[in-house]
Chain A
């Protein structure tokens, strides 16, 4: 209800609304990655990080998230200990 009143006064034409909505949704569509590829990214990240630190593989989370109008790869990886490099 509030939305439709807002629309009436903003005077935005539906053609522009369509364009804006499409630009938003396509950012998400284009960034969508199959679970298989996501698994490959995860394995590669583990491999790289494991050179420097001991990480908790069971508790790590990585995902693609929409932040405003862009996409970010967000990773939460618990570090158990650092490997000591000489």
Chain B
């Protein structure tokens, strides 16, 4: 049974591509056959997060226009052979791919892959409608900020109008210390507001940035809180019942221990 998942958010900059990359690598680490499709045409980025930017020969639009076969356009991940990327075009305009094209592509890829994960562009225009067309499941990524939550609600409404009823939520870039002091909404607050099943809360973690710098998603990194959070999300997508993690608060003492390498994380 294969599943087509679209990762969407409404608002830009909340971590759609980072989430897509981490879920892709995480599922591949678990032995699943995965293909990631970047549909943010004109603003190609998923390749960079996966460290595959120098291997691109063809793109989504070449495939849709019939210039190359899908197989030829897929870029294989360096470390995980069962993970492939279909990059988007960096130049052509967004209207080049329509919902029917993407739906047909997803149906083709379903035959061979366990998971097809689509990285959706920001906004609710044509690019969004195209990205969601072939999906069974939508993952809405948001952040504990008023604008991101409002846009997530809008997206959830749009998904409902398109009869996409299997919607899951990921809350990204949580700052545990701020949540503790009451200066940031927590998962329960956001659940109350959006009423969507939450499958993950990912803390703000400098390792997300440093791993992106290297083109290696953080999901495999056991020393990183965000890495563990993504691993848990991958488990939940595979149907495992994993409790939500408690975030470690890095206090002064912990930092001191770390400085002297007395603490493992």
Q: Which residues of A contact B (CB under 8 A)?
A: 13-16, 18-19, 21-23, 25-26, 29-30
Contacts and interface: CB of A to CB of B under 8 A. Distances in A.
15 contacts: A13-B181, A14-B182, A15-B178, A15-B182, A15-B183, A15-B184, A15-B185, A18-B145, A18-B146, A18-B149, A18-B189, A19-B192, A19-B193, A21-B146, A22-B150
B157 A30 contact: yes
A30 B153 contact: yes
B153 A29 contact: yes
Contacts of B168: none
B247 to A, nearest CB: 15
A26 B146 contact: no
Interface of B: 144-146, 149-150, 153-154, 157, 178-179, 181-186, 189, 192-193
Contacts of B192: 19, 23
Q: Name the residue in A14, A19, A30 with the highest tally of chain B Cβ atoms < 10 Å from its Cβ.
A: A19
A18 B144 CA distance: 9
Contacts of A19: 185, 189, 192-193
**SS of A interface (majority):** helix
B10 to A, nearest CB: 12
Contact of B193 (A15, A16, A22): A22
A33 to B, nearest CB: 12
Contacts of A15: 144, 178-179, 182-186, 189
Contact of A16 (B144, B154, B178, B182): B182
Given A15-B182, A19-B185, 12 more contacts: A13-B183, A14-B183, A14-B184, A15-B178, A18-B145, A18-B184, A18-B189, A19-B192, A19-B193, A21-B146, A29-B153, A30-B153
